[in-house]
Structure formats: structure tokens, C-alpha cells
């Protein structure tokens, strides 16, 4: 199984509040993990990727950060959310064949 | 710089007819291309892929065509069904970016397909 668990499914947060989205994966060890965001009317944009514990690469400058404290755990965070952080956040993995996405988190910053 | 482009934001077709979704790319290092289908509030699911060594790959009602010289690929759905209504994303990958044969994916903006009964 290459299952990806993401939670929560939906989240409404006020501007300036912190954020923590968690993604955990099952299946083969040492997967490459990715955070993507789909903003309204736009395609999927790669935010971060990780090839191992503690290894994070950022693709675009932004208000968010990512961490990988364990092999199968990938966390997306923010200290202070902006309105522009609203969107649909997807965790994804490769490894064991193919690219698998989680079910996503719909974040609305108000 | 949008390296993968889907210039049609939406497409509407009649049930039973052919749906043709187009995608253009600019990075000549891309060598693997994928199509994903996404329903609202769900993650994308893999549909079909094609390697740059091929120009066509077929899987049931879905066929992907790749024209490397034009840096263009298309997804054909025949016959289209109402259940095919979704957002379709084209994605591209280059070798060994991130340590896997798939590496990082670069996505297009997506095309909303609506199939009318």
C-alpha cells in the first residue's frame, strides 16, 4: 500500500494564526515526499520536497515552511497565515512505483 | 515561467463524443509525461503516462499522444462519459530530479472537462 493520510480535510483559520498540516505515508521506506498547493483558478504548484529525514528543499519563496521529523511524516507549517495562503494543499509521494497524492486539505484564511 | 501549459481552461463535450485535452511544454529536459484527473476536494489520481521514447500510449478509452518536436501532448478520451467530468492536469518530469525516475512533477494549470449526457 502506498497510502497517504492527510488531515484535516478542511480548515478555516484567521489571518495571522499559525498553521500545521500533517501528512503521513505508508508503504515503502524512504519515499520522496512533496507538498503541492492548488490556488483558486491555478494549477498545482510544488512548494517543498524532501528526499529524507530532515532534508527539505523549497521550490518557491513563501510564508510557509516544511519539516520531516520522521521517515513517513511530512509537516507543512506557518507562523502567521496570510490571506494568500488559502488554497488546496496536497501531500504526495514517490517510491514503489508512481506518484501518489493524498486527499488534500482545503485551507481558507479569513 | 510556466513550463507546462494547458491553454484551455475548460472543455465541454457531448456524451459519446471524443474529448481532446491539450498540453504544451517548454523544457526540453522533460522526458516523462503524465495525466491526472481530479475531482473537487480530492487529490489527483493518475490516469495515463508516456515516456519520451514513445509517441503514443493507449489504455482503454484513454490515449496520450506525444509530439516531441512540437513539445506538445494531448489526451484523447473516446467515448466520453459523464463520469469523466473533472479537472485534468498534465504533468511533466525530468530524470533524477529528487532521486527517482519520476522526480518532481511540473503541472499545467488544468482543464475542466464537462461531459453532457
Q: Is the pLDDT of residue A73 over 70?
A: yes
- Residue B72 and residue B22: Cα distance in Å, rounded? 7
What chain A holds in terms of domains, given with CATH numbers, is: 4-109 (2.60.40.10)
Nearest-Cα distance to chain B for A16, in Å, is 25
pLDDT value at residue B15: 97
pLDDT value at residue B101: 44
- B6 touching chain A per CB within 8 A: yes
- Residue B48 and residue B3: Cα distance in Å, rounded? 20
CB contacts of B110 in chain A (<8 Å) are 43-44
Note whether B104 contacts A34, CB cutoff 8 Å. Answer: yes
Note whether A101 contacts B43, CB cutoff 8 Å. Answer: yes
Which helix (H) or strand (E) segment is B64 a member of? strand B62-67
Note whether B6 contacts A43, CB cutoff 8 Å. Answer: yes
Average pLDDT, chain A: 89
Q: Is the pLDDT of residue A106 over 80?
A: yes
pLDDT value at residue B80: 98
Q: What is the pLDDT of residues B80-99, one digit of tens each?
A: 999 999 999 999 987 644 44
What chain B holds in terms of domains, given with CATH numbers, is: 4-116 (2.60.40.10)
From B112, which residue of chain A is nearest by alpha-carbon distance? A41
pLDDT value at residue B100: 43
Range of lowest pLDDT (A61-70, A93-102, B83-92): A93-102
Interface of B with A in 47-86 (CB under 8 A): none
Q: What is the pLDDT of residues B10-64, one digit of tens each?
A: 999 999 999 999 999 998 888 889 999 998 878 888 899 999 999 999 999 999 9
More confident residue, A15 or B97: A15
Nearest-Cα distance to chain B for A80, in Å, is 24
Decide: residue B10, CB within 10 A, 0-12 exposed, 13-18 middle, 19+ buried.
exposed
Q: What is the pLDDT of residues A85-97, one digit of tens each?
A: 999 999 999 865 5
C-beta of residue B107 within 8 angstroms of C-beta of residue B2: no
C-beta of residue B62 within 8 angstroms of C-beta of residue B34: no
Grid coordinates standing for B8? 484551455
pLDDT value at residue B96: 46
Among the partner-chain residues A43, A101, A106, the one whose CB lies closest to the CB of B109 is A43
Nearest-Cα distance to chain A for B22, in Å, is 15
Nearest-Cα distance to chain B for A15, in Å, is 22
Amino acid at each position: 500500500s502506498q497510502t497517504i493520510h492527510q488531515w484535516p480535510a478542511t480548515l478555516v483559520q484567521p489571518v495571522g494564526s499559525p498553521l500545521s498540516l500533517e501528512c503521513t505515508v505508508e508503504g515503502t521506506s524512504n519515499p520522496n515526499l512533496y507538498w503541492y498547493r492548488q490556488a483558486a483558478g491555478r494549477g498545482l504548484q510544488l512548494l517543498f520536497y524532501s528526499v529524507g529525514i530532515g532534508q527539505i528543499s523549497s521550490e518557491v519563496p513563501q510564508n510557509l515552511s516544511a519539516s520531516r521529523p520522521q521517515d513517513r511524516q511530512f509537516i507543512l507549517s506557518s507562523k502567521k497565515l496570510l490571506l494568500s495562503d488559502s488554497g488546496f494543499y496536497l501531500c504526495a509521494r514517490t517510491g514503489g512505483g508512481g506518484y501518489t497524492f493524498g486527499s488534500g486539505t482545503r485551507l481558507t484564511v479569513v | 515561467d510556466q513550463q507546462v501549459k494547458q491553454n484551455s481552461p475548460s472543455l465541454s463535450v457531448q456524451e459519446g463524443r471524443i474529448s481532446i485535452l491539450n498540453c504544451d511544454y517548454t523544457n526540453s529536459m522533460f522526458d516523462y509525461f503524465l495525466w491526472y484527473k481530479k475531482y473537487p476536494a480530492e487529490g489527483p489520481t493518475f490516469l495515463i503516462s508516456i515516456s519520451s521514447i514513445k509517441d503514443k500510449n493507449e489504455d482503454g478509452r484513454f490515449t496520450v499522444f506525444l509530439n516531441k518536436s512540437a513539445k506538445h501532448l494531448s489526451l484523447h478520451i473516446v467515448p466520453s462519459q459523464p463520469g469523466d467530468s473533472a479537472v485534468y492536469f498534465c504533468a511533466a518530469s525530468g530524470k533524477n530530479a529528487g532521486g527517482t525516475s519520476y522526480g518532481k512533477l511540473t503541472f499545467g494549470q488544468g482543464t475542466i472537462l464537462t461531459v453532457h449526457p
